[in-house]
Structure 1
Amino acid sequence: MTDPKWKKRLNFTQSNSLHLSNLTMADTGSYSAHMTTETSVTLSSYTLRVFERLPRPRVTVDSIIYEKGTCNATFRCSVEEGGENIIYGWTPVGPGTVVSWVGSFLSDSWSLSDLDWTYTCTVRNPVSNSSSTLILPGQLCAGSKATEGTYCPVKWIFLGKGLLLLVFLGVLGTWHIQTQVLSKPLRSNSD
């Protein structure tokens, strides 16, 4: 054993298998093992991949659009930790429940007369899986029934910034014109 960091974490079993303990994400990488017995010398290369247990995923609303009796919503599922190789899936809880491993986004449409659907987001990697609490699109869409139109947070943020910029430019232009007028000397009509 040449690397001292493995001294207390690496053991060989009776069947000459290698047993590693107390692994961390920092241990991920390529390794080579040189094993010598009375009759042979073997050099093997390995790639070690370490996976973390996944925390409960967080679901956020990306957009909700309500038009002509239909609610279209996009949800985003994410985990703060867990490394790479995370697979995202959405499970509708209702008629014909099937897990759909379609990615971290779920976009769907609901008729306002049929808002009883619920969803969960499930994340998985080779060592664990975890699910979100129930997502109730019906409650979000029902809230948008009062005012027909579009609700999209990203659009409203850009629209607000644009209006703020226009107001700022208007104030700046007015100030510039006033300072130019006030800085010119007055001429009398007798000249």
Structure 2
Amino acid sequence: MNDYRDPDSDWWALRQLARRHAGYFTTRLVWRTRCEARIRTGLDDGSVIRVGVGLLRMTEWPPGPLDEYAMWSAWFDGAAAVSHHSAAELHGLGRLRPRFVHMSAGDGRLPSAPGLVVLRRALEGRDVESAGTFLVTTPVRTVLDLAEAGIGQDALTEVVADALAIRRCAGAEIRHAAAILPPQTAARLRRALARA
């Protein structure tokens, strides 16, 4: 049985996977693609940099304002989404000014990062949308998440009013989606819709 692997093909695969997340990738991915030697060379010549424990980045990608979201998405191999307060900020909903990056992930090893809040839950495809180098919860899912998280009623009303005003979602969508929530949370959303 031939166990030959083409190092150039492995390197190409690693680069394609890193491209999905603005050049970020994990050491787990390096091991899976068998590119350890190439990464050691890249660390020596500066074409790859360490950005955290278990996280690296190809330096050819320019820095961007949303890099932190792409980096954490890479940590979870793309199986996580920016959610809650952080998603509201990205969608332009309310003035929550999150101090942490909020991500929702079904599984995967949790990183040790003081500025990161990870909520363990599986999201369905209809609950997320692409933001280029990471996923973000849809505006409707974000509104539901914030209502469930228990933000103040005034803040929730502002989030809902913004979602309606900039047409990120319709009141009927929120009402319909709220039907699956606990009664107290659904009532909070109905109050927010009535005031919006």
Query: Above 0.5 in TM-score?
Result: no
Task: Give the structure with the larger helix fraction.
Answer: 2
Rg larger in structure = 1
Instruction: Give the TM-score of the pair, scaled to structure 1.
Output: 0.20
Task: Specify which structure has the higher proportion of strand.
Answer: 1
TM-score normalized with structure 2 length:
0.20
